[in-house]
Amino acid sequence: MLDTEVYSCNSCNGWMRKDFVSSDLKCPLCGDETTVEMRELPQIL
């Protein structure tokens, strides 16, 4: 596991890794604002 910076949605359970964010940092599911946070995620190989 790896501490990973992610952007999580303020409205739904949607989130995205920092490496794969959309250009406007909006939630990919509902389009709301996201907040950056740290999560432990499996490392991408």
Q: Does 12 bind Zn ion (CB under 5 A)?
A: yes
Compute the distance between CA of residue 11 and CA of residue 1 in angstroms, rounded to an integer.
26
Query: Which of these segments, 9-17, 18-26, 37-45, binds Zn ion (CB under 5 A)?
Result: 9-17
Residue 5 CB, nearest distance to Zn ion (Å)? 18
Residue 28 CB, nearest distance to Zn ion (Å)? 8
Compute the distance between CA of residue 27 and CA of residue 32 in angstroms, rounded to an integer.
5
Compute the distance between CA of residue 8 and CA of residue 44 in angstroms, rounded to an integer.
18
Q: Which stretches of the chain bind Zn ion, using CB under 5 A?
A: 9, 11-12, 14, 27, 29-30, 32
